[in-house]
Amino acid sequence: MKKYLISTLTITFVVGFLFYGCPKEEEKPPTPSVTATVDDGGGSITYSWNIIDEADGYGVYVDGVLEQELDVNTTTYTVQGPAQEVEIVSYSGDEESDPVTFDYTPVVRQITIYPTSDPSPDHPSGFYFDPSTGEAFTVSVSQNPEDADFVLNDTQFPELTLCGPRGVDPSYNDEYNAVSEPTNTDFDGAENALPEGNYYNQEPVELNNTMYLWITTTDNTWDTGDHFAKIYFPSAPNADGGYTVTVGYQKTGGLRWLKTQ
């Protein structure tokens, strides 16, 4: 009888531990549905989402670092940037939902362009961006001037100059693209393109320096159909007279963030 009692107690203890001694795993709360709006001027983005009843609040991560925790009834937040990545999560206790991720990393490429004084038909002086992919392509302005977003011109100016299509007379095409003055930074140091009011139809190039690019179809008026980029000129030309430049293009319309590192 005594032996039977000990066995019963043992079984009861084991069963009780299994059912009551092991903590129940917390479930992930639902992922919020998030919309992102580039704010006027392109320097910040405002995020909005639905209330998650199962959540205790929300978290905003900027480049992998928690920037802000918000209570469950707060459903908007503005990130000033610049940033490469923003993530929005809901959380309940120690559990976070799967993130909603926004990638703002510029598309970085190297291209080689030549001054307009170069006589070779195989040495393009212009370049343009594909807005759907962010890829940069070179173009001959003597053969296809209508395609050029920017041109490296040294025949109509006293010094090497980067100009938009309307930076020369006659113009290459009808686009209003413009360039900033050199930023006095290296490529990665140029993280946030200047706002409107700081761009010109043409601007002299400084080697070992970076310039911002504004690709726009309207005259000096920002909107979300515009795109921003940056271009770095090396310290010297190549042996054949060309310049292998590095460009970074922001695919998100209207956004001036150009953080590459």
> pLDDT grade, residue 191 (50/70/90)?
very high
For residues 35-44, average pLDDT? 96
If you average pLDDT over every residue of the chain, what do you get? 91
Residue 72 pLDDT > 90: yes
> pLDDT grade, residue 261 (50/70/90)?
very high
Angle, CA 147 vertex, CA 143 and CA 151 arms, to 5°:
80
Nearest of 231, 209, 251, 226 to residue 109 by alpha carbon: 231
pLDDT digits (tens, 9 = 90+) for 96-128: 999 999 999 999 999 999 999 999 999 999 999
Q: Round to whole Å and give the CA distance between 158 and 174.
A: 24
Q: What confidence score (pLDDT) does residue 220 get?
A: 77
Q: What is the DSSP letter of 94?
A: T
> pLDDT grade, residue 23 (50/70/90)?
low
Q: What confidence score (pLDDT) does residue 26 get?
A: 72
> pLDDT grade, residue 260 (50/70/90)?
very high
Residue pair 42/226 in contact (Cβ under 8 Å)? The answer is: yes
Q: What confidence score (pLDDT) does residue 219 get?
A: 78
pLDDT digits (tens, 9 = 90+) for 127-141: 999 999 999 999 999
Q: What confidence score (pLDDT) does residue 22 get?
A: 53
Sorted by where each starts, the structural domains of the chain and their CATH numbers stand as 34-103 (2.60.40.10), 107-249 (no CATH)
- Provide the total of helices (H) and of strands (E) in the chain, helices listed first: 1, 18
Q: Round to whole Å and give the CA distance between 46 and 75.
A: 10
pTM of the entire structure? 0.89
Q: What confidence score (pLDDT) does residue 13 get?
A: 43
Residue 94 pLDDT > 50: yes
